[in-house]
Amino acid sequence: MPRSPTALALALSLLLGSVVATAASREFPSEHGSVRVTTVAEGLEHPWGLAFLPDGRMLVTERPGRLRIVSADGQLSAPVSGLPRVRARGQGGLLDVVLHPRFAENRLVYLSFSEPGSGGSGTAVARGRLEGNALQGVEVIFRQAPKVDTAFHYGARLVFDREGKLFVGTGDRGMQDTAQDLALGQGKLFRIKDDGTPAPGLPFADRAGTHPGLFSYGHRNIQGMALHPGTGLLWTHEHGPRGGDEINVARAGRNYGWPVITFGVNYTGTTIGEGLTEKTGMEQPLYQWTPSIGVSGMAFLTGGRFPAWQDDLFVGGLALTRLERLELDGERVSHREVLLDDWNQRIRDVRQGPDGALYVLTDARNGQIARVELLPR
């Protein structure tokens, strides 16, 4: 007799729990008790994005251009074949990974990456069917235009919303003013159908010369995106320069201000533009960090496994190596807690697993997948 979804979830939780109990772990203090961090897999070269398959295995990208399947006991597969050509230079490479909402039926996997081409490279999205250890029928469905010859600020986070539309975040590629030009693909948030065509009802669809799929603009470098568990709205965060990392709620047609307004300054300490932090017609961040922590990865924790953390927002840090927990009151951060501050690991991605725990990727040449759980008092 086939198992019910509840039974399968319980079995998976027990399996993951038994595996990680035997792996290397370390405990850290927190406001609500001890936090245990357990290594699930290691030996990954700059892992960037993580997605859970229905059977409990994981897909993880490595920035140099590899996609791995990771078993529940942490074993890495050989690189998955069939990937598109990737330009692995600087911050570019193979980046995020998400499953189609109907993956169980169509086996479609979506990857963001830096695509080489005329003029340099650009953020692109490809999809293919996962068959065994290969992607079949791979096609590029989205391209940031134009391609430019820089090696940073690709953005590249991917999230499917509740309507089955795909959000794609891009960075300004270090060319600040492009984020305000609606014709260009830099510094924007896009919303597309699962085949890459623009989603219906976009705010600039009738404006000639606008980059296809444009949803919002004025972004510097989006590095985290997640759907709010209550409202279903997309929340994003992005890197500021020296100061001014920020969280925003994505709303159609809005201008999020970069580089006209920012709480940061240039890395040399000089003022950006006119030094403005606000301007009429431009959105204020929901929350901002100065100094920057180098935000990367974002997840709301749901499911009730850790009641003290229920519906809190978790954000990783690259520059200040930490995990941050943000308590929310509507669209306001009411409390902030720094976790894992002395772990000394750059956190690239943060996801909730099917067992209700948090999983993080560490950005290192010998990177790892680690499981984060709040222990009962």
Six token digits for residue 253: 């047609």
Taking a C-beta distance cutoff of 8 angstroms, is the pair 337, 374 a contact?
no
Other C-beta atoms lying within 10 Å of the C-beta of residue 19: 17
The candidate with the shortest Cα–Cα distance to 235, out of 317, 161, 346, 144, is 161
**Contact indicator for 263, 290 with CB cutoff of 8 Å:** yes
Which of 318, 360, 314, 376 lies closest to 39, judged by CA?
Answer: 360
Q: What tokens were used for 60? A: 């993880």
Q: Outline where 36-143 has alpha helix (H).
A: 103-106
Closest CA to 283 of 322, 317, 235, 321: 235
What is the rounded distance in angstroms from the CA atom of residue 166 to the CA atom of residue 143? 14
The full 3-state SS of 213-230, as one line of letters, equals CEEEECCCEEEEEEECCC
The catalytic position among 46, 100, 153, 219 is 153
Q: What is the DSSP letter of 80?
A: P
Residue 303: other Cβ atoms inside 10 A: 15
Contact assessment for residue 91 and residue 106, using Cβ atoms and an 8 Å cutoff:
no
Inter-residue contact 193 to 163 (CB < 8 Å): no
Cα 3 to Cα 123: distance, rounded to the nearest angstrom: 41
Q: What is the largest CA-CA distance in the chain?
A: 68
Q: How many CA atoms lie within 13 A of 51 on its CB side?
A: 25
- Residues 128 and 120: their CA atoms lie apart, in Å, by 24
335 is catalytic: no
* Positions marked catalytic: 153
